[in-house]
Amino acid sequence: SYDLTQSPSMSVSPGQTATITCSGDRLGDRYASWYQVKPGQSPVLVIYQDSKRPSGIPERFSGSNSGTTATLTISGTQAMDEADYYCQAWDTSTAWSVVFGGGTELTVL
């Protein structure tokens, strides 16, 4: 099976840049998506196809993907960005499947 690895947690000061990474074998050869999950709420798609933002997602959210690492960058992080962030990719190496990373808890303090 295909695995995506994320650091469990990180913290950032308000106004600073948060960089959340997701690693997987040849991840750069496939698209990565990112989801924001706040306590008690449903996931929200913030980045798809590596770097595209859905309508309504602030410009401070950006993404990239190359080699073995996909990156979600939050520029000018705000308190409202405190959440868990999950990367996601599609895998067909053994069977059709969707894979999520373990999630990164972002604390803004």
Partner 1 sequence: EVQLLESGGGLVQPGGSLRLSCAASGFTFNNYAMTWVRQAAGKGLEWVSTTGSGGAGSYYTDSVKGRFTVSRDNSKNTLYLHMNKLRDEDTAIYYCAKDLAAGGMNDPSFDYWGQGILVTVSS
In the complex, the residues that contact partner 1 under the rule CB under 8 A are 1, 30-31, 33, 35, 37, 42-45, 48-49, 54, 84, 86, 88, 90, 95-103
- CB contact at 8 A, 63 and 50: yes
Q: State how far the alpha carbon of 100 is from the alpha carbons of 1, 60, 85, 107, in Å.
A: 12, 23, 10, 20
Which residue number, 13 or 49, has a Cβ lying nearer to partner 1?
Answer: 49
Report, in Å, the least distance between residue 13 CB and partner 1: 25
Report, in Å, the least distance between residue 7 CB and partner 1: 13
Report, in Å, the least distance between residue 107 CB and partner 1: 16
Nearest to 99 by CA among 109, 108, 88, 107: 88
